[in-house]
Chains A and B, each alone.
Chain A
């Protein structure tokens, strides 16, 4: 069965780019515009991988990432963060949210800073799904 990859990003161009890379590499893409939609799709579709932006309206990738990694049902789904926010800033923000009373969460399986080359994204997807 073809593996499903959920792309969560508010930028339609990034979703187009990511879904094209996913399809070219033989996987099945699913799209969401924000973390709220992303969580709904995650529950419905049970994807094998999530590619997640950090700053989005309504519900950010920060929140969705924490929801994934703190729920035993979803915690094993690998997450690739694809964002204009640096990895250092993302990790610092996660640490702060833990210090502010949130649960401790692991680092994402991979972190790619925008802009990213198709080959780089493809390699990250294959690695996460292998």
Chain B
């Protein structure tokens, strides 16, 4: 009962591929659901959770965690009696990803899942890479952005990814050794990537040692 984690350089098509795989295999696709669940647990808005994700290690987090006390946050957000910071986010994240994986037949997009599930025998870890220009082009086409906007989004997301992994003490997230399969999307189409992953998980005896 496999679990697929997809880590990716932003704009290399990870979300699109994850949705396609989940649809074809009848798996659950875990992406925004994780944000929603964390928001419910923390009793904050999904937007706040996304801010923590996007600004990991950044300005927003420093403001919320250090300059604003929890009671003050409560008073400001009268209808939103919760609180979240990077540490709380990570605490929820590790438990939720572990629990989602227990339920099998799931594709999990990013969020450190390749580390959290690195010793799970039935988990397959995939990394998608691509060059900057292609990733910008992908974002332009997929999200109807100008070249400048798309380039900015890719740069911001690359920095966010770096910051998020830095927060958990990881800098080797693009190392091939962490993964079962690394796909260079500059040379492989989305359909080919899909077929490669399906072929991999259909193997009866996965190699699991890392």
Contacts and interface: CB of A to CB of B under 8 A. Distances in A.
* Interface of chain B: mostly helix, strand, loop or mixed: helix
A92 B88 contact: no
A92 B94 CA distance: 8
B83 interface: yes
B82 interface: yes
B64 interface: no
Question: How extensive is the interface on chain B, given as a class?
Answer: 20 to 34
Interface string A55-77: 11111101100000000000000
A101 B97 CA distance: 18
B94 A93 contact: yes
Given A58-B82, A88-B102, A101 B169 contact: yes
Given A60-B91, A63-B88, A92-B120, A100 B115 contact: yes
Given A58-B70, A100-B115, A92 B98 contact: yes
A96 B88 contact: no
Contacts of B42: 57-58
Contact of B98 (A59, A63, A93): A93
Interface residues of A, number: 23
Contacts of B132: none
A42 B159 CA distance: 40
Interface of B: 41-43, 70, 81-83, 87-88, 90-92, 94-95, 97-99, 101-102, 112, 115-117, 119-120, 168-170
